[in-house]
Amino acid sequence: MSVRPIIRFPDPALRRACLPVEAFDTELRALADDLYDTMRAAPGVGITAAHIGVALRLVVLDLAEIGGRRSYANPEILWFSAETMEHTEGSVSMPGATETVTRPRAVDIRYRDLDGVVHEERLEGFPAICMQHEIDQLDGEFWLQRLSKLKRDRLIRKWEKSGR
């Protein structure tokens, strides 16, 4: 287990779609452990393999609402609620930059655990927001793309001025 370097915005790797996890082995477990350590050091509550330059569909979340640390391989959204909610989002790849994003309040997801077992579950509220944010990243859609052009441009200028 180790803390790995996080790719920073505007690295083009953050705009690439990730490949499905196919091997559910000790290497995948080690990657999930590294992601968890890296996320905690950032600090953050969610991270993808893409954030550390590994183009695999792997998400690690650490939220009390879901019982703490969980790993999701190949997560996909099966259903979105019509009801939405606003939440302040940011990224471990763009520390200190946040903005309000509107997303569906609940989602049904399908994913595999680290043993390759398929699961389906409903996430609501903050966990649903986090999972949508991370799945966007796996699809090569950095969270800024969810903002209006005006908000996105303003946030990027602020980020660049901060010298991060």
Query: What is the CATH number for 49?
Result: 3.90.45.10
**Could you read off the pLDDT tens digit of each residue along the chain, which spans 164 residues?**
799 999 999 999 999 999 999 999 999 999 999 999 999 999 999 999 999 999 999 999 999 999 999 999 999 999 999 999 999 999 999 998 999 999 999 999 999 999 999 999 999 999 999 999 999 999 999 999 999 999 999 999 998 888 76
* Catalytic residue (choose from 65, 76, 134, 141): 134
Range of the domain at 74: 12-162
- pTM of structure: 0.95
For residue 134, indicate whether it is catalytic. Answer: yes
Inside any domain, residue 131: yes
**In-domain check, residue 5:** no
> Which residue is listed with tokens 């099966």?
78
CB < 8 Å & 24+ apart, contacts of 110-115: 110/75, 110/76, 110/78, 111/59, 111/72, 111/73, 111/74, 111/75, 111/76, 112/21, 112/24, 112/72, 112/73, 112/74, 113/71, 113/72, 113/73, 114/24, 114/28, 114/29, 114/32, 114/71, 114/73, 115/24
